[in-house]
Amino acid sequence: MVEAGKALATSLGGLNGQLTEAAEVAEAQFQAIAGEGGEVEQMAKEIALLNGSIRSATTSGSEPNDLLDRRDLLLDELSEMGQVSVTENNDGTIEVGFGDAATPLVEGTEVNWPQEVVEPKGKLGALLELTRAGGTIESFRTELNAFAESLANSVNAIHTEAGGPAFFSFTAGEGAATLAVAVDAEEVQTAKDGSVGGNDIATAIGALRGGAADRSYASFVTRVGTEMVRSAQRRTNAQALLNTVEERRESVSGVSLDEENDQPDQLPARLRSLGPRDVGARRSAQRLDQPHRKGGPLMTMRVTQGMTSRSILRDLDNSRSRLGTIQREISSTKRISKPSDDPFGTGRTLQLSSELEGFKQYKSNVDDGTGWVTATEASLSHITETLQRARELLVQGGNDSNGQVAREGIAAEIEALTEAVKQEANGTFDGRFIFSGTETETRPYELGASDAYSGNEGSIKRVIGTGVELPINVNIKGLLGEGNAAGDNKLLDVMRDIATDLRGGTEENAETCAAPTSPD
């Protein structure tokens, strides 16, 4: 029990450490991106420099296409870090807003950073959600601590009922990180009366399985898996949106002007309800100086080679991912390897695992109880055989034809049978005395003249189902008693009296042997 408690404490401490490390890594990443001198500030400074260069080029009448492309690329990269808004100025410069910052990140050639952002969106928003007070990781740790402390308090409340020390120790609010076993093997309490063989405390602790603490942990694991699935879905959705934007941009910017100038204005094939007038009257992408021409483009989007390639690569990547999942399931023979594979299934699996462990414990209890009862039955059967022999000797001893020497011999055999009965009462199962009550390490009777009983009359029970427990021991003291010293008219007392009467040699003793008092 001590080792199991230590293993639990180690596991919870390790899980808490992983959450703490994840928070530290997320905080370090946030600072590397949003802190002074971080990626956001560096990109902002480069955009500001490009603003100056573009303004100069525009003023001189040149086309700064390369500078514009570089600035667009930086804006794309910046938009991955957080929500970006862009305002174009007449001089070719832009004003860049970032997240919910109070001041624009870039104003012409000026950079305003660092600034406080509460909801920057993008990668910074995700990192901030992980590390902020009350965020994802802190809420995980709070749930984990609540589970650890709830379990420790439940076990301690049961363990201290017998006056023993608390089984677990922990610091309030940091249960997962500080949980530790506070007792050694000698201090573990298994019974409220302190007896070695009692198990009511152990049974009560075992009954915690499947209770509030177990449900709390299952809920925690399910939530972790659900959050991971949601994160993966958000990432997939964001990537899909980004791909759509990229394809839309490519469909416009990827059109070759020379290619279109070389092609006549023809009627597109397989388009019904359109005539030359409709086609000739449409707006031309190469005649932006003719806004009076009505109509619209017959195709709003062009499928480029890059779009086709990306689509094929996405399909291949999805197939590879599915294949990897199937291979993992086949090699591990498990459909669920981590909570995010199936959060609901993970919670259900934990519940079923807990129930299965309970059934295994019930089976173990049944096996132990069966062995105990079998050993008890064997000992009682031997005692019955011994008493049958004693009865035969008693009838023989009551016969007037026997002389005193014969009766002395019968008395000696009766005493030997008495010791045999006591020996059977000292029977054991799995190294434990089966007739000592809950004092299973104490021999019930010592061989010899003393018939004092050294055990107790406590009941040993085994839980064989939810709310179902059965006693497995027999109160041997109620059958054998404690001999002549107690005068309790139990079996040992009667057998001692028979031996004494046989040795008495008087007519009264012989009559007593012929009609002995029956034990209770």
d(C-alpha 11, C-alpha 350), whole Å: 16
The confidence score (pLDDT) of residue 188 equals 81
Tens digit of each residue's pLDDT (9 = 90 or more) over 212-250: 887 888 888 888 878 777 777 777 777 777 677 666 666
Tens digit of each residue's pLDDT (9 = 90 or more) over 178-199: 999 998 888 887 777 666 666 7
DSSP string, 270-338: T-TT--HHHHHTSPPTT-TT-TT-----S-S----HHHHHHHHHHHHHHHHHHHHHHHHHHHHT-S-SS
β-strand partners of 87: 95
The CATH number of residue 478's host domain is: 1.20.1330.10
Tokens representing 384 are 């019955």
Edge-to-edge order in the sheet of strand 84-88: 84-88, 94-98, 106-107, 110-111
Is the four-CA dihedral 347, 349, 354, 355 of positive or negative sign? Answer: positive
Residue with tokens 């049961």: 158
Tens digit of each residue's pLDDT (9 = 90 or more) over 410-423: 989 999 999 999 99
Lowest-pLDDT choice from 248-257, 352-361, 370-379: 248-257
Cα–chain center distance at 420: 54
More confident residue, 214 or 124: 124
The answer to whether residue 141 sits within a structural domain is no
The answer to whether residue 3 sits within a structural domain is no
Tens digit of each residue's pLDDT (9 = 90 or more) over 110-123: 999 999 988 888 88
d(C-alpha 86, C-alpha 74), whole Å: 12
Query: Among residues 113, 136, 162, which one ends one of the domains?
Result: 113
84-91: long-range contacts, CB 8 A cutoff, minimum separation 24: 91/55, 91/58, 91/59
The answer to whether residue 274 sits within a structural domain is no
259, pLDDT greater than 70? no
Spatial contact of 168 and 179, defined as CB atoms under 8 Å apart: yes
Q: How confident is the model at residue 511 (pLDDT cuts 50, 70, 90)?
A: low
The answer to whether residue 369 sits within a structural domain is yes
β-strand partners of 94: 88
Tokens representing 502 are 């046989």
The answer to whether the pTM exceeds 0.85 is no
Query: Among residues 113, 145, 175, which one ends one of the domains?
Result: 113
Query: Among residues 89, 113, 137, which one ends one of the domains?
Result: 113
Q: How confident is the model at residue 282 (pLDDT cuts 50, 70, 90)?
A: very low
The answer to whether residue 305 sits within a structural domain is no
Q: Supply the DSSP symbol for 180.
A: E
Tens digit of each residue's pLDDT (9 = 90 or more) over 427-477: 999 888 999 988 888 999 999 888 999 988 888 888 888 778 888 899 999
Spatial contact of 170 and 179, defined as CB atoms under 8 Å apart: yes
Mean pLDDT of the chain: 80
The answer to whether residue 57 sits within a structural domain is yes
The answer to whether residue 375 sits within a structural domain is yes
Q: Number of C-alpha atoms within 13 angstroms, CB side, residue 42?
A: 9
Q: Considering only CA atoms, which of 158, 495, 312 is closest in space to residue 168?
A: 158
Average pLDDT of 45-62? 92
Q: Domain range for residue 100?
A: 36-113
The answer to whether residue 420 sits within a structural domain is yes
* Entry field: residues in the chain: 520
Domain count, the chain: 2
